[in-house]
Structure 1
Amino acid sequence: MDTIWMPQVDPAVKPKYKAVVHAIREAVDAGVLGQGDKLPPVRELGWKLQMTPGTVARAYTVLTDEGVLVAEVGRGTFVADVAPPEPPLNLMEMDVIEHLTGGDNYNVNLFSPHLPNGGQSALIRSLMAQIANDPPSGVMHYPSRRGAQPAREAMRHWVRNIDLGPLRESDIVLSHGGQNAIMLIFQAILKGRRPVIFLEELCYPGFRRVAAALRAEVVPVAMDKDGMCPLALAAAAERYPEGQIICTSPEVHSPTCGFSPLARREQIVEVARRYDLQIVEDDCYRIGAAQASSYRKLAPERGWYITSLSKSITPALRIGCAIGPREMTPALHRAAEHGFFGLATPISDLAAVLLTHPRLDAIMARTRDGVADYVRAAVNRLGVYDLRWREDVPFVWLNLPDGWRASAFCRAAETRGVRVRAAEEFAARHAQTPHAVRMAINAGVSLKSFDAAMGRLRDLLDNPSEEIGV
């Protein structure tokens, strides 16, 4: 029900929002405000208390996060019926993920990672409701660079533990996920009629798709366990003087789970400087701590960095960023603003509060723990074979036993209700590819269903049919 209640704010409590929090909490504890009572709108209460709407909104946000209040889009803010419990540490067997294939399933799709829910779903819903009630950027204006400044500051906070070199919020360009960030960087760099891009011989397919859209030629470069081979890169650069960009994923190589140590990165930088190549680093798959300095730190005049929320929080929001050499930042901003003006203002408002939220680190830790549970299930079943894996990477890479072709294995696995991706999906069209498959972690199905799927793949490997080489 509506209420005419007004808080008795103690002027001695500072800052002001904490005084409002204290007054509301006391009223709820004393029964002055009961379950379902509606609080005054933010602007109305701010006017009556002679405070800014932002101060009152911050107090409401604190109490909503604590479960004392609940925000309902289009209706207002109410005293919650009950405070929601903190998410348990082990979320893997709970039906907490909204997904078409949630729960126990025979059919398991392992094409793309689907993250465990460590509590981010409830947090995002809560923050979206608050923003809908009183969006800081409003809902009647075009996005602007100035309006997105809080979101860029939040993104800088989110990447604070990555060795990116000196970083200002103005160096960050927000994007619609990692794929859009690749497009922005390519648009900022590429010139000439037929530019050339150097890729690892197995790599994220999105690099090739953006290159095709921009009419650039892609040249695969041989790789080993440490990533792109410097000698092979130098040979390719000699052969293709039109080369302009090196694309690489040094922290988590997709699809092989590989990692490029610092010494290899320094060798790649040496080649890049010799042939005047830009280095684009895709860091979207890492959900654990970074293990070495980024290319932007190692080669600040030519290092570019891409990340997104897709593999660590959720892919649904399509929030990512691109960061380049400082002298190229204006071109990167222009690519975004000329292409789509900027992120939708409610999304940038959400990014500003989500990426700095005090509960986010714990939520991401629970998500990583959940990924590790699924990875261990895969290792327990398939570890007797040549399986590449890391507990903080949301996929595994299986080099198939002699006799198997990747295409035949994928078809056989699908008849057993499991869909996996063959190595050739990560390679150029005419490239020679290993007989291997990538299997993403899909926490959209229960751990029980995932483990059963791994068991069916193990049985397939242990008992191959006569047509495994077809």
Structure 2
Amino acid sequence: MDTILSAYERGGVPGPKYRAVAGAIREAVDTGALGPGDRLPPVRDLAWALGITPGTVARAYALLTEDGTASGEVGRGTFVRDRAAPVAEAPREIRWQQHTAPEETETVSLFSPKVPDCGQVALIHDALARLGEGAPARLLNYPSRAAFRPAREAVVAWLSDTALGPLDADDMVLSHGGQNGIGLVMQAVLRGTRPVVLLEELTYPGFRRMAELLRAEVVAVPMDGDGIVPEALERLTRQHGAQLLCTSPEVHNPTGLFTPLARRQEIAEVARRTGLQILEDDCYRVGAAQEQSYRALLPEHGWYVSSISKSLTPALRIGFAVAPQGRVADLRRVAEHGFFGLATPLADLAADVLGRPETREIAAAVRAEFSRYVRAAVNALGGFEMTWAEDRPYLWLTLPSGWRAGAFCQAAEAEGVQVRSADEFVLRDGAPPHAIRIAINAQVTLASFEAAMGRLRRLLDEPPERIAV
């Protein structure tokens, strides 16, 4: 490893860091310091020694494998290849391998978005194999914040298309998915025996459930076509002494509404005047952010939570919570006192997966596949009042006059299509609109999805007496 370190420190290879690492290893091979069959350092060990992310080293090793300098053996590591020996097979292409084909089925669940496999399964399999190369000591000790810095740096890079204001790896904690991140922020913010949390009148149910779990009172804030009504927000904040507002301004769940910058600025001003903290949940966005986050607009009051559940996979339960200026110690304390942090292999997996160049391409492919299904839904249901966009993994459909959401959902389920009623997105004493949320299930074939949309269309066109008023 020392030869690689000295060659890397000397530099000489312009461009990205991964090319500098590859160049340093090639120099060690050319000078004979590394010979055919020698094992390269484990990805994580070399990354630690060089002070860079494991994803950067992994990309350098991939480059060396592609040009024939090295060869990788799953479960064993990466080795210097004898250039005189014939290449047994071409390097394995992970990027577009699809392990899980869409299912042809008549029963289609549209309760929650289902992410298609656009290569992430193969990439995760490869990353899991790389975990076996890690330093053994990492599997013997409690997680530490310093050891998790590469994972947090990978998240910072992942969030580069999100306007969060000044952001450093030390400003965040890793969480078990977005819901856990929401809980961490609420625990860091809420004080007193019966704190008050403000929620949009149509809202993600996880906000309410987490607030109630923490014995907080929840109060609904009226909305219009641009999101939360600022005047109502200020009135309710002062009336109830509210401490926290939970909102989703980029992709509102469930309606899909987008809150424009002017409205966000008005809401931020209310928060400044009243001392209200704002938690922004960005878990449902799969495209680039359109506007500044509340953390950027409100540096001392804006909290941010997101995950990879809708863009890559919910199976890994990788999420992240970002604190506003001056509050990261509160957020960190909650995580450390609550569960000591993620399991080390999970944090290492996050660093590897989010640090790989293929990952962004896979996320773009997931987004494109979601878009195909959204277009199919709009083609079938476009004659009805809907909120939708090609980069959102669900649609919000307002039922025609005379329909009731609960009864419609029952009729749809009888036809093999499961959708969510607006009733699930209001507070216990709220008045739900007659609407449904249709999530995109890209794990079924497009033909199966289109058939499901056709069945919904027939129900809307020809309502049985039992669901029509």
Q: Is the 8 A contact 1:156 1:169 kept in 2?
A: yes
Deviation of residue 274 (structure 1)?
Answer: 2.1
Question: Match of 1:318?
Answer: 317
Q: Is the 8 A contact 1:64 1:126 kept in 2?
A: no
Paired amino acid for 1:249:
S
1:97 aligns with 2:100: yes
**Distance change in 2, residues 1:16/1:322 (3 Å):** closer
Aligned partners of 1:292 and 1:137: how far apart in 2?
43
Question: Aligned pair in 2 of structure 1 residues 128, 65: CA closer, same or farther (>3 Å)?
Answer: farther
Q: Is the 8 Å Cα contact of residues 174 and 320 (structure 2) preserved in structure 1?
A: yes
Given that 1:422 and 1:437 are in contact with CA atoms closer than 8 Å, whether structure 2 keeps it comes out as yes
Residues 297-340 of structure 1, C-alpha deviations (whole Å, 9 max, x = no match): 11111111111111111111111111122211101000001111
Conserved 8 A contact 1:137-1:349: no
SS in 1 for 2:327: helix
Equivalent residue number for residue 362 of structure 1: 361
Q: How does 1:64-463 map to 2 (within 5 A)?
A: 69=71, 71-73=73-75, 81-85=89-93, 96-97=99-100, 102-135=102-135, 138-241=138-241, 243-463=242-462
**Against the structure 1 CA distance between its residues 41 and 76, is the aligned structure 2 distance closer, same or farther, given a 3 Å change threshold?**
same
Q: Structure 1 pair 82/203, CA: closer, same or farther in 2 (3 Å)?
A: same
Contact 1:371 1:392 (C-alpha < 8 Å) held by counterparts: yes
Residues 460 and 353 of structure 1: is their aligned pair in 2 closer, same or farther, counting only changes over 3 Å? same
Structure 1 runs not aligned, ≥5 long = 1-9, 25-32, 34-38
Deviates further, 131-140 or 250-259: 131-140
Letter aligned with residue 72 of structure 1: V
Distance in 1 (CA, whole Å) between partners of 2:258 and 2:42 is: 55
* Amino acid paired to 2:323: G
Q: Residue in 1 aligned with 2:16? A: none
Number of aligned positions between the proteins? 435
Q: CA deviation at 1:408?
A: 0.6
Cα shift readout 1:193-245 (whole Å, capped 9, x = no counterpart)? 1000000011111101110110000001111111111111122123212x100
Offset at residue 63 of structure 1 (A): 5.3
SS in 2 for 1:206: helix
Cα distance change, pair 278–136 in 1 and its aligned pair in 2 (3 A): farther
Gaps of 5+ in 2: 1-6, 14-19, 30-35, 80-86
Mapped to 1, the partners of 2:217 and 2:351 lie a distance apart of 37
Q: Identity over the aligned pairs, expressed in percent?
A: 52
Shift of 1:84: 4.0
Residue type at the aligned position of 1:370? E
**1:97 offset after TM fit, Å?**
2.5
Contact 1:188 1:332 in 2 (8 A): yes
Counterpart-to-counterpart distance in 1, 2:191 and 2:438: 37
Q: CA deviation at 1:146?
A: 0.6
Amino acid at match of 1:189: V
Give the Cα–Cα distance (whole angstroms) in 2 for the partners of residues 352 and 209 of structure 1: 30
Evaluate the alpha carbon distance shift between residue 280 and residue 378 of structure 1 in structure 2; reply closer, same or farther with a 3 A threshold: same
In the alignment, the residues of structure 2 paired with residue 195 and residue 277 of structure 1 have an alpha-carbon distance, to the nearest angstrom, of 12
Task: Judge conservation of contact 1:111–1:419 (CA < 8 Å) in 2.
Answer: yes
Query: Does the CA contact (< 8 Å) of 2:66 and 2:91 recur in 1?
Result: no
> Tell me, what secondary structure is at the counterpart of 1:327?
coil
Question: Post-superposition shift, 1:184?
Answer: 0.6
Q: Deviations over 1:158-192 (max 9, x none)?
A: 11221111111111111111101111101111101
TM-aligned CA deviation for residue 118 of structure 1: 2.2
Structure 2 letter corresponding to 1:363: I
CA contact (8 A) 1:105 1:445 kept: yes
Partner of 1:28: none
Preserved contact between residue 197 and residue 246 of structure 1 (Cα < 8 Å): yes
